[in-house]
Amino acid sequence: MHLPDMVLQPVPTVVSGALGVAGLAWAVRRLRGREGDRATVLMGAMGACVFAAQMVNFPLYPWPISGHLMGGVLAAVVLGPAAGIAVMALVLMVQAFLFGDGGITALGANFVNMGLIGSGVGYAIYATLRRRWAGGLVGPNASEEARAQDQRAVVIAAMAASWFSVLLASGSLSIQLTLFGPNPGDLPIVLGWMTLVHCGIGLGEAMITGLAIRFLLLTRPDLIPPLETATAPGLTSSTTSSASGRATAVFGGLGIALAIAAFLAPLASDHPDGFEWTATRLGFLDHEDQPEDQGDPAALVAAEGPAGLGQEPANEPARPLYEAPLPDYAIQVEGPLGDWFRDAPSLSTAIAGIIGTLTVFLAGWIIARGLETRRPPTQFNPTPTDPQTGGVGPHVA
């Protein structure tokens, strides 16, 4: 669901970028000053997990289509909507700048679709359903039966919200393509195809999200906050507030992310994802009869402008707007080492995935540290001694 460069017209590109900046600014403002808060502590680990999971495309049988986890609802359920939105922004930026997955000029539109809608709106749906199905908020003195009911509500609400988030994000993308794309099309047709395809992809999103949330509830239920603390600054659970609890959650999450990138990403389906398949079928991204070196839509629009999509390519090979260091999640270097990586594509993908996972983790940790407000060191102001008792007494001016 990543738009490439220059597919949207200039004005919508600028507008979507402004919306993305405004949404990210809101999230950063909500997170600023939350020293030791669970959301900032876990941002790096959650970002790494979302990034690695997005590398694993699952097939959508019986069609030649694949899908992957978007992860916005999963991040928001664990961290709250502000941190979830920030995590999605970080993942999208690493994907665009390091791997060329999604255009630099399309970062705003991609963030609106997968960050603000996928995580922010997705969390609003989750919170509404959880309140309704859990019978209200569960406080610290709730009975075991109420807690069990709330845990069931968490899983079901997260799965439902994940499914809806995929549909809403694909709907937003459909509107962007038909109204502001290079080849304006019939919105009902595009929206119908995108909805049909992403209904199936949304089921995969819901299943993966539900399994992940259930796993956390069984192993670390403290990582799933009640609704009343999910967005409130400065509130931490008893386990994640301790140093050992934080370290276990952070490095455990990083270990899971690295395992996904190293062992599952090389097994990902090579079918086009739902957006690519639909856009190619309807003529938005027409790769038919193109030379191998011009199959990238970003390269076409860089050479011919937005009208180049869906038309015959020029004779001269076009270059993309930005040369990513690890394009297509692969190690591409010259010489014998490059030949070795080309002969071992699974290893190349695994190494690229590990590099990306560590990049997201470290960037998330650095950003989280920057968002924390440092308390000034306590000044030593000796209290005068009480002359009557010799002890510490109040100071009288």
Between 72 and 6, where is the model more confident?
Answer: 72
pLDDT of residue 291: 41
> Environment class of residue 138 by beta-carbon count within 10 Å: exposed (0-12), middle (13-18) or buried (19+)?
buried
pLDDT of residue 233: 44
Judged against a pLDDT cut of 90, whether residue 383 lies above it is answered with no
- pLDDT band at residue 139, thresholds of 50, 70 and 90? low
- pLDDT band at residue 187, thresholds of 50, 70 and 90? confident
pLDDT of residue 238: 43
Q: What is the mean pLDDT of the chain?
A: 83
Judged against a pLDDT cut of 90, whether residue 348 lies above it is answered with yes
**Backbone phi, then psi, for 273, in 5-degree steps?**
-75, 175
Judged against a pLDDT cut of 60, whether residue 68 lies above it is answered with yes
- pLDDT band at residue 355, thresholds of 50, 70 and 90? very high
Q: Are 284 and 309 in contact (CB under 8 A)?
A: yes
- pLDDT band at residue 259, thresholds of 50, 70 and 90? very high
Closest CA to 8 of 175, 168, 186: 175
DSSP category for residue 118: I
Instruction: Give the whole-angstrom CA distance, residue 331 versus residue 353.
Output: 10
- Sign of torsion, CA 54 56 58 59? positive
Convert 201-231 to b/e letters by CB count within 10 Å (16 or more is b): bbbbbbebbbebbbebbeebebbbbbbebbb
Instruction: Give the whole-angstrom CA distance, residue 329 versus residue 101.
Output: 8
Scanning the structure block, which residue is given the tokens 């999103």? 205
Closest CA to 196 of 163, 167, 175, 168: 167
Query: What residues form DSSP beta bridges with 66?
Result: 59, 273
What's the predicted TM-score (pTM) here?
0.83
Instruction: Give the whole-angstrom CA distance, residue 330 versus residue 318.
Output: 21
Please give the average per-residue pLDDT across 88-102, as a whole number.
97
Instruction: Give the whole-angstrom CA distance, residue 331 versus residue 338.
Output: 7
Closest CA to 266 of 309, 330, 173, 192: 330
Please give the average per-residue pLDDT across 342-355, as a whole number.
96
Beta carbons within 10 angstroms of residue 266's beta carbon: 20
Angle at 322 between CA 319 and CA 326, to 5 degrees: 100
Q: Are 170 and 194 in contact (CB under 8 A)?
A: yes
Percent pLDDT > 90 in the chain is 60
Which CATH code is given to the segment(s) 10-233+242-281+346-371? 1.10.1760.20
Judged against a pLDDT cut of 90, whether residue 50 lies above it is answered with yes
pLDDT in tens, 297-343: 444 444 454 444 444 444 444 456 888 999 999 998 888 888 889 99
Between 315 and 23, where is the model more confident?
Answer: 23
CA distances from 384 to 27, 62, 379 (A): 46, 82, 15
Six token digits for residue 385: 């001694």
Judged against a pLDDT cut of 70, whether residue 213 lies above it is answered with yes
Which value, in Å, is the radius of gyration of the alpha carbons in the chain? Answer: 24
Please give the average per-residue pLDDT across 55-67, as a whole number.
95
Q: Are 241 and 28 in contact (CB under 8 A)?
A: no
Element (H, E) at 389: none
- The set of residues, in sequence order, having a beta carbon less than 8 Å from that of 31 and lying 6+ positions away, is 37, 39, 40, 82, 83, 86, 371
